[in-house]
C-alpha cells in the first residue's frame, strides 16, 4: 500500500519516533498525541482493520501492545492507560491501517473518553445476542 502512511513508516520512507520493533510489529509515538507518550502499535503487514488482520499478526500486535503499555506505565510511574482500536470511519479510524493506541493517563489530564449509555427494550438484548451468535 504505497500511499499508506503507516506502511511508509514500516518501510522507512517516513521517519518515526520508534519505541519498539520486531519482525511483525512496529510501535512509535503518535505525532498528534492525546497525552504525551501516546504510542501506536502497528502490524507491519497492511490490514485495514482488526477483522482483516491475520491471526499471527493479531497475536503479535496484542503482545507488542502489552509490552508498550508496560513500558509506558514504568516510564511514567503509574499503571494507568487506555488501549483503543478504532475500526472503520464511523468508529473514528483516520489511518486505514490497523493499529492500537496506547494512551498513558494522568490524574489531572484533560482527556475524556466517554460514551452515552443506551438501554435494551423488552427482548431486544436476546434478539441482538442471537443475531451476533449466528456469525460466530
Is residue 38 part of the annotated active site? The answer reads no
Rg (CA), the chain: 17
Please name the residues in contact with 89: beta carbons below 8 A apart, sequence gap of 6 or more.
none
Nearest to 63 by CA among 88, 84, 43, 33: 43
Whether the CB-CB separation of 58 and 50 falls below 8 Å is answered with yes
CA angle 29, 95, 42 (to 5 degrees): 50
Catalytic one among 38, 46, 97, 99?
99
Grid cell at residue 86: 478504532
| 23 vs 60: CA distance, rounded Å | 9
Q: Which residues are catalytic?
A: 99
Amino acid at each position: 500500500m504505497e500511499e499508506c502512511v503507516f506502511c511508509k513508516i514500516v518501510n522507512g520512507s517516513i521517519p518515526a519516533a520508534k519505541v519498539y520493533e520486531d519482525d511483525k510489529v512496529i510501535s512509535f509515538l503518535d505525532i498528534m498525541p492525546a497525552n504525551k507518550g501516546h504510542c501506536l502499535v502497528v502490524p507491519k503487514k497492511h490490514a485495514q482493520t482488526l477483522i482483516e488482520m491475520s491471526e499471527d499478526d493479531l497475536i503479535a500486535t496484542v503482545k507488542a501492545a502489552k509490552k508498550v503499555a508496560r513500558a509506558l506505565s514504568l516510564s511514567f510511574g503509574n499503571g494507568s492507560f487506555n488501549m483503543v482500536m478504532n475500526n472503520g470511519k464511523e468508529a473514528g479510524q483516520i489511518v486505514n491501517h490497523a493499529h492500537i493506541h496506547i494512551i498513558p493517563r494522568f490524574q489531572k489530564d484533560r482527556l475524556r473518553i466517554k460514551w452515552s449509555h443506551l438501554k435494551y427494550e423488552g427482548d431486544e438484548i436476546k434478539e441482538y445476542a442471537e443475531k451476533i451468535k449466528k456469525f460466530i
